[in-house]
Structure 1
């Protein structure tokens, strides 16, 4: 960089760090303590006409002019310490600093004159005055810097004097001189930034629910305004080696970090954690603040600055979100309790009129989608963490819901048929709702596979519980009629079976009101349950046929079994392997001769290998297989039983059914 003036050597004591000569040699090695003779020479030479100035940066020209002004004004005789102090207090640095330098030179001359002689009292007093004056100067310089961002443009010259004084004092090597002027400047800059940002509007949450979002919005604007002023007004008041813009940006960044940490301590609500993360991750480096076009290109290399650990804030955000979600889920249960269960509000049908629905899954899905979408506006990583947090919290909801629903719905199970119907419809509606919830949540499997699997298990457990509750109620309603099965009354009339079929038709209608997958599972559950109950009656030895009643009983079983098969096939049961059982048993029961039963054992054992010897004996008892003879003849000597045991040894176990029936 070229010098401002050819007589660079004369200015070296003031501008040694500002300019390099054409050979690149600076003035750091030149004497910086001027004697009285050298000072006079310097003044005389500066009055000479200088050659044409080379083209230099504006800021260096300004500082050189300030340097010239100071040098011209160094008086031969300094003002008194009191007068200099008054000038400093009134910001008259242009007049005060030359007199302070003159006083310092005077002190040096007197000190040199004394040599090694003991210092006079007056000299000691002057040394003390100098120390106090330099302290006042440091305080005044710091104060000016601290308020520099609020200085009117007409006072920019004052800041130029400050910059010159800092550099001049920094370059002096005198013993006893104050050190750390550049550090003091940096600290003052940071204090100036801190004062500016401290003045940003900050409402309390009682005054403004959006207190933090509003404050951070104002904070961003003030940061930009401050740095714009630094760039357009303050930078030119300093030599380039002060790195003014970089220092202000660094200070601003540090102060903002401190400020955000303090704000973080006040945050208790999710929206405020969101505002904080949005400011740190999105706004701070965007065109709204550091990326503002008005701050470029100087800001470009400084944008890598990072604010407080966003990961810790994300963790706090997720913890707060989990609390909010748990609270919302509790409210959903509370609303169901107050607006549905206590009021006995009948569940509504979907728009197509096919399914009975509850809106629980819609509310929950919207909640989680809202949390995920909002967090996705921060970044993808947070969205994934939020989803996993939501699903982890949601995992406990099915059990909480079941406990409260069971407690509230039990009151519906009385003698009132309408209440019993409402009880069943509630179970259907919630079966559909939680099935839909599971389907919706599957869309998040890629992000949170573990949480989705755990949630799926809990929802499946609840769905099973809801189906079992319906089956239990079905059993309560059909049990009185089931007890008449396989009795003398049953053999004479179909009334009881018709009552059973009527109930089954009703519950088949409930199944048709379910979504396809739970409907199919419910059909299987019903199918298995009814067949098991029906066969159980046959194995209870409540009745034994005699003579032609064998054929009559077999035909009745066959007819009723066909009715059950049609019903469950229409419902969509996939338990086709249960269908042949009625035919197998009918054929055994209708045989007149016991030896003929052996011919029908193989398909029975092949399809139902878990049937026990005791269960087969119960069927033979129902057929009236000469009970008195069986009492005398050991079972292991009975040819039917013997053949049955041989077949069982050679068969491969497939389905299990009879194992669930206790005889």
Structure 2
């Protein structure tokens, strides 16, 4: 047990001797230290303490290793004495004359001096030596002895501490000069990395020594507490500031033809430096620090604060639109993207860092950006519509692709809106804010509708072609509003869809009305006595086919809708003329003939319109069921047919059923009442999931 009087420090003889790390040769400068002598190590140049490494081998490389090897060279054994002769004797006699050979001693490792540790940058070992001297001077020496007799040693210790202090913090200032190349191919780390690790360990050791002095009753040395941990953080902060103040130049590899402003270049250079440095921290520096120091998040906080402070200064300049956009991109996209890199995401707590810029600074910038974007959208759409109007005024027809008239109005506007809103969401980091760009889209659609209505009203030679092209634009706009609904506020989307629906209806009416005008003479003969006597149906179909060819020219989906609407309107006119009651089916033969005629007409209309693109198959079913009513003779069978018709088409009215039944003069009033009562029951039980497309409600029966 140590006999040294009890104090707050362990005595030198009780300290555990620790292994000396292999010397490093990375630092080219050899420190010039003031020489000092020690009576206990005179003539050797080394300290009194001898330390073995873990393997028991002498440490030391380079010039120092050479000196150690010379100093510790084991002398040769003296020549053997006595029988057995010289070394050349035969019989393999022993050189020790039968004595057991001495066991070879392992050379002891000499502990390096403070100066040698500094020269080799063994900073932790150098710090341990200073602490041992500090404990001897301020801990082991009794108060009665005083320090006056050791003033020179105290001054020398303070000077040595100053040298170590400088080297430790110079090493810390070089931390971010490390890179992945510091890891050698064999997995070992280079001298600079090891030196940094040693410096970090020295910082921790000094913190422990500060804590011991705080707990001690003795007066501390003038350098205590040295607060190296606090200074460590301050040095790293200065290092971060310096690297962002003088970032590495950004390579000019961009293919963009738009020149960068000086502010944009500054932000990009700082952002690149930040990303590269954080990657060095997590890939290299993390291994030099103990986990409790959380070095990755420490650096992240420093870069977060420093980068944010610089962006705030940039924002104070009063930014133009491009610089404003660039600043928002760094705040909301690029910087968060750096923290989400696979190498960093598990090492840095990005959520704890918070926002890079405060809301009171970001909000005015976002308002400036969004206002500018909305203004650009309005200007661009206005220009597109003006160009389209100018072409129409000059009498130009839209171009044709695959036989269809096409317009680029919708495509141009859709691409712009999609790009603007998507980009604004990225720049602002908020979809709701980005949607505000389309706040005036309804007004733009109203302007488009006004132009559309003007084309219809003036009915110029090129108006029909333009309206056919517009049908494609209307369809594109509708698909865009439905499929990309997240880009628009709900009220804007609904208002725009309503405007587009009005435009589609007016376009259909404009294109279809001339067809009905041509077919009117054929319509007038439907439901008359001539209808059953002559082959009017064939003439009607020929006239319809001729007019349908004139309606060609819209995009496929638009053509399908247009043909479907005309198909329904022709069928409605057919039923309307039939229910007028001009023809009376007085016997079974006429009723059978009416059945065949209506059934054949239903088939003929279906084939013709289907060939032109109509998908309204259900219209054939309506005429077929009406034909069945005309043929059937038994009231129960007629009841079943009316029940089926009323169930599928709830807009069928009693007046319409009554008009249909009156064509069959063989039915009594009581029979007609019975059948109409069946319709009431059918409407009560109408299937809510049945096809409820309107048809009969558009047919007025007097």
TM-score, reference length from structure 1: 0.53
1:214 aligns with 2:298: no
Cα deviation, 1:552-578, whole Å, max 9, x if unaligned, reads x98999698776444323234343342
Of the three residues 666, 672, 683, the one matched with 1:641 is 672
Identify if the C-alpha distance between structure 1 residues 282 and 649 changes in structure 2 by more than 3 Å, giving closer, same or farther. Answer: closer
Cα deviation, 1:598-623, whole Å, max 9, x if unaligned, reads 899668735633543323555688x7
Identify if the C-alpha distance between structure 1 residues 138 and 659 changes in structure 2 by more than 3 Å, giving closer, same or farther. Answer: farther
User: Contact between 2:240 and 2:302, CA under 8 Å: does it hold in 1?
Assistant: yes
1:149 aligns with 2:173: yes
- 1:501 matched residue in structure 2: 544
- Partner SS, residue 194 of structure 1: helix
Structure 1 residue 140, shift from structure 2 partner: 12
- 2:77 matched residue in structure 1: none
- 1:337 matched residue in structure 2: 385
User: Contact between 2:661 and 2:672, CA under 8 Å: does it hold in 1?
Assistant: no
Cα deviation, 1:245-304, whole Å, max 9, x if unaligned, reads 979766543321222333565574464343323332238749xxxxxxxxxxxxxxxx72
Of the three residues 334, 337, 340, the one matched with 1:281 is 340
Identify if the C-alpha distance between structure 1 residues 16 and 220 changes in structure 2 by more than 3 Å, giving closer, same or farther. Answer: farther
Structure 1 residue 421, shift from structure 2 partner: 0.8
Structure 1 residue 412, shift from structure 2 partner: 0.5
- Partner SS, residue 113 of structure 2: helix
- 1:200 matched residue in structure 2: 246
d(CA) in 1 for partners of 2:389, 2:415: 22
Identify if the C-alpha distance between structure 1 residues 520 and 311 changes in structure 2 by more than 3 Å, giving closer, same or farther. Answer: farther
Structure 1 residue 658, shift from structure 2 partner: 1.7
Greater shift in the superposed pair: 563-572 or 306-315: 306-315
Structure 1 residue 354, shift from structure 2 partner: 5.5
1:174 aligns with 2:227: no
Of the three residues 503, 506, 516, the one matched with 1:469 is 506
d(CA) in 2 for partners of 1:145, 1:644: 104
1:44 aligns with 2:39: yes
Identify if the C-alpha distance between structure 1 residues 347 and 138 changes in structure 2 by more than 3 Å, giving closer, same or farther. Answer: farther
1:411 aligns with 2:454: yes
Identify if the C-alpha distance between structure 1 residues 174 and 585 changes in structure 2 by more than 3 Å, giving closer, same or farther. Answer: closer
Of the three residues 259, 264, 270, the one matched with 2:306 is 259
Cα deviation, 1:534-587, whole Å, max 9, x if unaligned, reads 544665x6x956999xx9x98999698776444323234343342365677789
Cα deviation, 1:416-448, whole Å, max 9, x if unaligned, reads 243431342233322553577589x69xx9xx9
Identify if the C-alpha distance between structure 1 residues 207 and 509 changes in structure 2 by more than 3 Å, giving closer, same or farther. Answer: same
d(CA) in 1 for partners of 2:633, 2:521: 29
Structure 1 residue 193, shift from structure 2 partner: 1.5
d(CA) in 2 for partners of 1:534, 1:359: 38
d(CA) in 2 for partners of 1:479, 1:430: 25
d(CA) in 1 for partners of 2:429, 2:260: 25
Count of residues in Structure 1 that have an aligned counterpart in Structure 2: 522
d(CA) in 1 for partners of 2:628, 2:275: 89
- 1:571 matched residue in structure 2: 612
- 2:566 matched residue in structure 1: 526
- Partner SS, residue 641 of structure 1: helix
d(CA) in 1 for partners of 2:11, 2:399: 87
d(CA) in 1 for partners of 2:661, 2:691: 23
User: Contact between 2:397 and 2:465, CA under 8 Å: does it hold in 1?
Assistant: yes
Give structure 2 stretches of 5+ with no counterpart: 1-7, 21-35, 53-57, 66-110, 119-125, 178-190, 251-258, 316-323
User: Contact between 2:654 and 2:676, CA under 8 Å: does it hold in 1?
Assistant: yes
Identify if the C-alpha distance between structure 1 residues 336 and 537 changes in structure 2 by more than 3 Å, giving closer, same or farther. Answer: farther
User: Contact between 1:223 and 1:252, CA under 8 Å: does it hold in 2?
Assistant: yes
d(CA) in 2 for partners of 1:245, 1:56: 31
d(CA) in 2 for partners of 1:206, 1:15: 65
TM-score, reference length from structure 2: 0.51
Structure number having the greater helix percentage: 1
User: Contact between 2:564 and 2:615, CA under 8 Å: does it hold in 1?
Assistant: yes
User: Contact between 1:253 and 1:305, CA under 8 Å: does it hold in 2?
Assistant: yes
- Partner SS, residue 262 of structure 2: coil
User: Contact between 1:193 and 1:248, CA under 8 Å: does it hold in 2?
Assistant: no
Of the three residues 613, 622, 625, the one matched with 2:654 is 613
Of the three residues 401, 404, 424, the one matched with 2:467 is 424
d(CA) in 1 for partners of 2:12, 2:282: 28
**Aligned Cα root-mean-square deviation (Å):** 7.3
User: Contact between 1:413 and 1:420, CA under 8 Å: does it hold in 2?
Assistant: yes
Of the three residues 226, 229, 232, the one matched with 1:183 is 229
- 2:348 matched residue in structure 1: 305
1:658 aligns with 2:654: no
d(CA) in 1 for partners of 2:281, 2:633: 106
